Structure 1
Amino acid sequence: MWKIGIIDDDRAVLQGIRRAIPWDELNAEWAGEALNGEEGLEMIRSASPDIVITDLYMPVMNGLDMIEQLRQTGYAGKVIILSGYSDFEYARQALRLNVSDYLSKPVSVPTLKSVLGQAIADLEKQEEKRMKQDELLQKLRLYEPFVEKEWVKSAAAGTLQNSRLDTEIPTPYRHWADCDHTVLGIELVRDQRATKLSLPDWSLLRFAISNIICELTQEAFASFEYTDLHTNRSVVIIHSDRTEPDGQLRQRLEQLGVRLIDCVQSYLKLKLRIGIGERKSSIREIGNSTEEAFRVIDLNPQPAVSGYDLYVFAQELHSEGTGTPIRPVKLYLELAGAIRTSQENQARKIILDYMTRLEKEEGITKSYVGMLAGELWGIIAFAFYEMGTVLDDIFSNDSITREIADLKRPSELAEWLSAKIGIVFSSREWGGNGKHRQAVDFMMEYIHEHYAEDITLAGLADKVYISRNYLSMIFKNITGETFNNYLTRVRIEKARELLMEKKALVYEVAEMVGYKNVPYFSTVFKKITGMNPTEIVK
């Protein structure tokens, strides 16, 4: 409720104004009163009224001096002057002090009601604006770690915009500018055991591997970043002192690679292949080190350490293996990103552009096309899985394996992948039927039963075992409105029913339907119904 304080040296005026204010109608309450400006300051500091009605001519401290002190101390509430004198100079000073209105005594009840109503309406707008700003700030803080994580991934893939690198490096990574950078490309070998894992198990496995990698790398290097790239590939970006000799750094990197391979094999019974890219001095070149790390894995030269799938890229390898095209990290990252953001046409274009370039290259074998198809299908499947769609529910593994085996050229692979993506985006699963229809039905029922509680989309996502972003999408596809709009509409409809029963005050009804902030409730109520809550309870 809005709090109103009254200051006047005439007790009869204090009592008269207090009786004249329609408190319930304005959704307001009495905050306190005072007989002069000095007492008024104390009352305002202790009670923090939203609106102050004050006389000007008072003993000890007049109204203007009091208002000036309030503004100097940061008081942001509404001030309404009620004076028995019409003085232009006083009015001019009042405007300078951001006074809401200047009324002459005696004031009529309708005028007082109108002025207070306007002041409260202004306060409600300010409160709504503040809440939106707070909500935006909270979202920015919530998304900040995600944005920073994506920035690291973009740096590893070489997709950062070079023109912004000098000005838009996130704060936690500013120190990168003073280091050298070397990428360890890590590939989880898809052996017989790994290929049998379901996508949920694969996701858990990646998490376990990342924990091992981060723990061991932290022991070996003071500064590094780890990020997943796609289904079975990840990278560690090592930041090293520029004064460290190349030989010493390479030895430390090889020792880390050996430990990573041994520990993953020992604890998870899985095999890693690791490539070490060239050392780079610029953030802009990290993507090149990543490509080199995976390039050397594909070329499979002499291992850096006997008995380990650990390879180090060297300049002489730039001219080798021209018949084996690079499997670009950038392509994989952009494709997964397009699918996660439901950009079907963009996903098709990324595939078509790359396969068109690949079609012109020599040495493209059927086995290479099959290998590339398997990798791209894995990336697509995992990206859809993160959105809540399991491709195993749409395509059988056996049919996918047979179809991949028949692909001979990059153009055939582009056509095949494009068709599969189209099927998924237009499928019953993606459109929100079947089990997704059941999930949305559960959500709607839950909202109607628990509308007074703190309901969040993230909380419901946990209950129906669907990712938050994907659940938001299918909810809107099925209901035609967003989750938040639906929840708000249910709450306001219930509030209208309760108000029409005339058994509870406005602030009580607001709490009963899940709103702790009454002014915000009133604003939302009017926006949806076209009426103020107080108009219904009359």
Structure 2
Amino acid sequence: MYSVMLVDDDQPVLDFLTAVIPWNELGLSLHSTCKNGLVALEKARDCPPDILITDIGMPYMDGIELIRELKMLNGELRVAVLSCMDDFTYAQQAVKLMVNDYVLKETISREMIGGLLKELTGELRRRDEEKAQTLKWKNMARSQQTLLKQNLLQRIVSRETPVGDWGPDAAELGIRTEAAASLAVLCRIKCSKGAEDTPAGDLAVMALVESALPGVLQDGEGAVCLPVSGRDCVLVFGGGPGKSGSAGHLSRLGRLRAAIGRTGAAASLQYISIPPGSGHFREGMISLLTQGREYAFYVKPGELLELKEIRPFATEDLFACYSEASGEIREAFLEESAQRLAELVAKWMEYIRSRRFPPRQVKEWTLKLLYDNQLRLMARQQFQSSFSLEVLHDTISGMDHIDSLEEWAMGFFYERLPYIREMYQETRRDEIKKVKQYVDRNLNRKITLEEVAEYTHLNSSYFSRLFKKETGMSFIHYVTHTKMEHAKELLDQSPQSVEQVAEQLGYENKSYFTKLFKLHTGSTPGEFRGEEGPKNGQLQGSRRRYL
């Protein structure tokens, strides 16, 4: 919707124009009504109008001066001049200012002013359509250029593609691998908090990085930006160690990092110096796009690192500490403590950072932690959920930095904490809540009805009836159900034997434990774990790895 400013020192004229213009019919809005040019200029400074209808002779600032000032604020302003004076001099000045129309007040009518505004609005619409079409063509051209550069990068790093297939295209862009050494930089962009987490696609990343280059390059230097995907791109600078040396690299990349920082974003930069030669260039680019993108999982926004100096990933197995982490988080949920959950997530993510486990293994470990927590919640609360393992898998797979993974995992737990609270508060009786917590903390031994009745200071018969009424199941059934769910976790997560699992849950008789487990799950512990063959069409169990 275009806006119209009305300016005249005659109030009846302003009232007439305000009333006579068919605003809704023309798709227009009233910007403001002003008694003189000075007031109008002040109101237009922050938000200039699209159309100006103004008188000529006014105190403080006349219409001619107002038009000059507003044209400086909006060079495409449409203007219609009103005047009582049929004066050729004013008309000449108006023409010089490229006024769209010059109207005598005596001739104004509803039809005339409506037709005039309809014509001016049509001009503005045509202008905007032309701009939109031009922008569309430019974006199409940039998009096509981006695809060509992506394709070039793919051919460079494909060992099956001969150099002759990509060498000429690279040279055309300014990448001459045979003539001189190169500096290749993996650049990952992260926007500041409060803005979008990443720029919107390859075009936005390239535009941001390329806009920072003019302040980085010196005379005779060139750089080519090759999009990778998402918020990653590769910059190739001509002239490596032989031209500027490592000190020159650091200075140049420092300026690049600072220039990107001034846009409100942060760039982590990993660089590699590549000797002359197409073969060297290909291997260097392969290293940057494989090792570099994996290492970027731990690189902090704003860091500047040489690829060869980055510490490699740990060789130990992160899953060795899975049971400990899972148990601690389980206890935090039992305590219904958001603070404790935040502390534990931070603790384990810091442990992962300090050891630098491979990103794939970290995602695998985190996925299992979140998924097992969800299964436990669904089993205990018996509620229907729209939860999807596939969605969880895809979400975590797409995480390209441990900070994002930590933040998302914490949000996942926070979202489920109210369900845990509801699980313990679905009954308003504190005794039932205390008993459920008591059972969860004493799964390693036999728990009797008399024991918990004494714990809650209630008569055992009364407690039994109360528990059945509030939960829908007997106390013994609840204990068995809870122990069997925990047994599934132990069989899935630990190398303990069936006898050891039974003993850990307070069952001295393996056969009795096996019988209860089969009643609860439909399979024996061995079948669940995958140590025995499936029977009667049962699915064979196994230790789950989800990525």
TM-score with structure 1 setting the length: 0.32
Rg larger in structure: 2
